[in-house]
Chains A and B, each alone.
Chain A
Amino acid sequence: MVQPLSGQAIYVVLLRELKRYWRAKARVISSVAQSFFFLVIFGLGLGGFIGGFGGVNYLSYMAPGVIGMGLLFGSVFSGVSVIFDRQFGFMKEMLVAPVSRTSIILGKILGGATTATIQGIILLVVAGLMGAFTPSLAFVAGAFAAIGAMLLITSGFVGLGVAIGSTLNDFHAFQLLSTFVMWPMFMLSGVFFPIDVAPLPLQVAMLCDPMFYGVELLRWCLLGAGSPLLGPLGWLISLAVVAIFNALMVGLGTFLFSRAQI
């Protein structure tokens, strides 16, 4: 049975996500701080030793990746929070309402993508203040493009989170998820080192990591260049992969959510 989408239902679920995000100040602060430590300690510490990659200093090289980390963790956990909604009963309130499950989950995905992107923007500003980017008109345009890219990247990962959250039933799986899914995805995304210097097996693994393309895309937006490995059309390839990943994950999340048990 196909039910029509309801704009107001999508909006209200999104609104709830925003309110909850805004109120969880401690969570916002701690995740921004975490990324900040990465930038400071690795950027300055490792940076002094490495110097830089591909003509940019190490802090600048790392900044898009660290922003990507914030996006990745923020969006997946936001999607996985459907577990909490089920556990604490609020899901029933939404499911018994005269709106389709698709509307509910689209609201959830948009809400998660928005909050994770807000997180990304905060990190963008922090990195900018640390001098990671060269101020110019091109950069401002790139920053706006980056915000668009963030929404695209995060909605895909919220979809992934929803898919996982609709399948798993307990909180204990969180730790496993973090260790075996999120961290490898983050570390293989090319945040600390360029794919070009990695040994072949690692390169293959990195090319299989959807987050790698997300970080590539951000790097193109913010630094105006990406990995030589993907060539001058790297941004297009990355955009295409991110878009396909997005469509697949939003579809998978919606499907698994609509057949999940409460």
Chain B
Amino acid sequence: MNRINTIEVKALTKIFDGTVKAVDGISFNVKEGEILGFLGPNGAGKTTTLNMLSTLLRPTRGTATVNGHDILTEPDAVRRSIGYVFQDTTLDIELTGRENLDFHGRLYGLERNTRQQRIKEVLELVQLTDRADNFVKTYSGGMKRRLEIARGLLHYPKVLFLDEPTLGLDPQTRRSIWEHILHLNQEKNVSVILTTHYTEEADYLCKRILIIDFGKIVVLDTPDNLKARLEGDVVTLLFKDPSAIESFRSLLENKDWIRRINVVTSGNNYATMSRMMQTMPKISTNISIGGTMPQMDSITIEGKRKIPKQVQQKSEPAMADESLQFGGETCSKCLNLLVDNGGHRIPEIVKLADEAGVILESVELRKPTLDDVFLSVTGRNIREEEGSFMDMVRRHRIMQQARGRRVRG
């Protein structure tokens, strides 16, 4: 027998004020015990989707079932089936950790004995037993998060919604929260939907990843399959003299072992430059390869080889976005290549550069990450600040709408 779907979503849509489509007809299922990640930039529709699934927000169209209960007709049963850890803390910091849990237990109608036994249990699960009787205002950010996760589990939900569970936490704490999430997922067999805009988080935790952008599902697959879409390696070339870049690119264009070439140009905008400076020497992951900040000019050229269909489709908007650029003097450029067997091609690339009289400042080789996947399927970088100007305006509008929203009681 196949595993049961804990959540079934059908054509779920949320339109704010009749015009702003925050979530646009999405459908997907979550299996029992599965961890599904919503990956997308801020304003992509992640939280709006969670708010609809948790019955806080009424969908404009479409519906969903959670644990077999319809979100439109059985909100109470849905609420009993879910634990929701919100993006911002929702603890009462004037109460102790135990009191916060006790409050929650009573709110969900747990009997005294059950309540006390479960409070003990979830405190142990997130290793907060020693601090349970301290006021929450004395807790660190990571402890608060753990307490919230524990609270979300107290009523034994079938699904746990984690909205950006590690946002703003330091790397060690983030890692420890990840371990807790995996642990409780295995121990309780609870399904988890987590939203994140950290690709490494989605990669580490999720069995499947749903990439969402502008309210639409761009792709839904396992992390490995997603990365397999980008066969090959990413080679980043930094040039001493940026003016040589165009001619060198045309040299590379007819090599059949190169799948894609992205030219990253940064204008004279200070913010863009400093970001380039920070990220370029180490890793190219965070550079907006093909990103379309107003000052950034991105050109994507498809190689001759087969390119996954999704990639081809999605590179079009990126091209269209170029019309939005505001110009600016070019001062720094690098080339990003998706190459078969990258390690063996580096000597060849260097040789080509030598022959052409182009001086390379650095050459870098790495495996594609989910950041590259996100870039290839959406045509943009996942970090919020690196969308085009119009994207930013649009996202801002959606988020404003989504925040000040009346919720269902």
Q: Which of A3-11, A50-58, A153-161, A225-233 touches B?
A: A3-11
A9 to B108, CA, bound (A): 8
With A89-B89, A90-B90: A95-B108 Cβ-Cβ less than 8 Å: no
Minimum CB–CB distance from B155 to chain A (whole Å) comes to: 9
In the assembled complex, B405 has its CB within 8 A of some CB on chain A: yes
**Residues of chain A contacted by B404 (CB below 8 angstroms):** 261
**Residues of chain B contacted by A89 (CB below 8 angstroms):** 86, 88-91
B409's partner among A6, A88, A258 (CB-CB below 8 A) is A258
**Residues of chain A contacted by B26 (CB below 8 angstroms):** none
A89 to B86, CA, bound (A): 9
B92's partner among A90, A101, A260 (CB-CB below 8 A) is A90
A16 and B76 contact, CB distance less than 8 A: no
A12 and B94 contact, CB distance less than 8 A: no
B107 and A94 contact, CB distance less than 8 A: yes
Can you name the residue of chain A whose Cβ is closest to the Cβ of B161? Answer: A96
With A89-B86, A89-B88, A92-B90: A97-B95 Cβ-Cβ less than 8 Å: no
In the assembled complex, A99 has its CB within 8 A of some CB on chain B: yes
A99's partner among B86, B88, B95, B107 (CB-CB below 8 A) is B107
Minimum CB–CB distance from A129 to chain B (whole Å) comes to: 31
In the assembled complex, B104 has its CB within 8 A of some CB on chain A: yes
B103 and A16 contact, CB distance less than 8 A: yes
**Residues of chain A contacted by B89 (CB below 8 angstroms):** 88-89
With A3-B76, A90-B92: A19-B86 Cβ-Cβ less than 8 Å: no
**Residues of chain A contacted by B104 (CB below 8 angstroms):** 93, 97
B409 and A100 contact, CB distance less than 8 A: yes
Complex interface bits, B374-386 against A, C-beta within 8 A gives 1, otherwise 0:
0000000000000
With A8-B109, A261-B404, A261-B407: A98-B92 Cβ-Cβ less than 8 Å: no
**Residues of chain A contacted by B79 (CB below 8 angstroms):** 96-98
In the assembled complex, B99 has its CB within 8 A of some CB on chain A: yes
A262 to B94, CA, bound (A): 20
Minimum CB–CB distance from B101 to chain A (whole Å) comes to: 11
B407's partner among A20, A88, A100, A262 (CB-CB below 8 A) is A262
A216 to B404, CA, bound (A): 43
In the assembled complex, A23 has its CB within 8 A of some CB on chain B: yes
A interface SS class: helix
Complex interface bits, B73-98 against A, C-beta within 8 A gives 1, otherwise 0:
00111011010101011111111000
Complex interface bits, B130-167 against A, C-beta within 8 A gives 1, otherwise 0:
00000000000000000000010000000000000000
In the assembled complex, A25 has its CB within 8 A of some CB on chain B: no
A12 to B84, CA, bound (A): 20
A16 to B84, CA, bound (A): 21
Can you name the residue of chain B whose Cβ is closest to the Cβ of A92? Answer: B90
A58 to B54, CA, bound (A): 59
A95 and B109 contact, CB distance less than 8 A: no
Complex interface bits, B395-409 against A, C-beta within 8 A gives 1, otherwise 0:
000000000111101
A15 to B107, CA, bound (A): 12
**Residues of chain A contacted by B182 (CB below 8 angstroms):** none
In the assembled complex, B349 has its CB within 8 A of some CB on chain A: no
B406's partner among A12, A16, A90, A261 (CB-CB below 8 A) is A261
A98's partner among B76, B86, B93 (CB-CB below 8 A) is B76
**Residues of chain B contacted by A3 (CB below 8 angstroms):** 76, 409
A89 to B100, CA, bound (A): 13
Minimum CB–CB distance from A259 to chain B (whole Å) comes to: 7
A262 to B57, CA, bound (A): 11
**Residues of chain A contacted by B405 (CB below 8 angstroms):** 261-262
Interface hub of B77, B103, B151 (most chain A Cβ within 10 A): B103
**Residues of chain A contacted by B80 (CB below 8 angstroms):** 98
With A3-B76, A97-B108: A92-B103 Cβ-Cβ less than 8 Å: no
With A89-B86, A98-B79: A23-B406 Cβ-Cβ less than 8 Å: no
B106 and A11 contact, CB distance less than 8 A: yes
**Residues of chain A contacted by B151 (CB below 8 angstroms):** 93
Can you name the residue of chain B whose Cβ is closest to the Cβ of A101? Answer: B409
Can you name the residue of chain A whose Cβ is closest to the Cβ of B109? Answer: A8
Interface hub of A90, A96, A258, A260 (most chain B Cβ within 10 A): A96
A16 and B95 contact, CB distance less than 8 A: yes
A16 and B92 contact, CB distance less than 8 A: yes
**Residues of chain B contacted by A261 (CB below 8 angstroms):** 404-407
Interface hub of B54, B79, B89, B92 (most chain A Cβ within 10 A): B92
**Residues of chain A contacted by B56 (CB below 8 angstroms):** 92, 95-96
B90 and A93 contact, CB distance less than 8 A: yes
A258 to B406, CA, bound (A): 10
A12 to B95, CA, bound (A): 13
Minimum CB–CB distance from A13 to chain B (whole Å) comes to: 8
* Residues of chain A from 63 to 112 with CB closer than 8 A to chain B in the complex: 88-101
Can you name the residue of chain B whose Cβ is closest to the Cβ of A257? Answer: B409
**Residues of chain A contacted by B406 (CB below 8 angstroms):** 259-261
* Residues of chain B from 30 to 78 with CB closer than 8 A to chain A in the complex: 54, 56, 75-77
Can you name the residue of chain A whose Cβ is closest to the Cβ of B111? Answer: A8
Pairs A–B under 8 Å by Cβ, sample size 17: A3-B76, A9-B106, A12-B107, A15-B103, A15-B106, A16-B95, A19-B94, A19-B99, A20-B92, A88-B93, A89-B86, A89-B90, A89-B91, A90-B91, A97-B79, A98-B76, A99-B107
Known contacts A20-B95, A98-B75; 15 further A-B pairs (Cβ under 8 A): A3-B409, A12-B103, A12-B106, A16-B92, A20-B94, A89-B88, A93-B90, A93-B91, A93-B107, A95-B407, A96-B56, A96-B79, A96-B84, A97-B107, A98-B79
- A residues with a Cβ closer than 8 A to B are 1, 3, 6, 8-9, 11-12, 15-16, 19-20, 23, 88-101, 258-262
- B residues with a Cβ closer than 8 A to A are 54, 56, 75-77, 79-80, 82, 84, 86, 88-95, 99, 103-104, 106-109, 151, 404-407, 409
The 8 A-B residue pairs with the shortest CB-CB distance, nearest first, are A101-B409, A98-B79, A89-B90, A12-B106, A93-B90, A97-B107, A98-B76, A92-B90
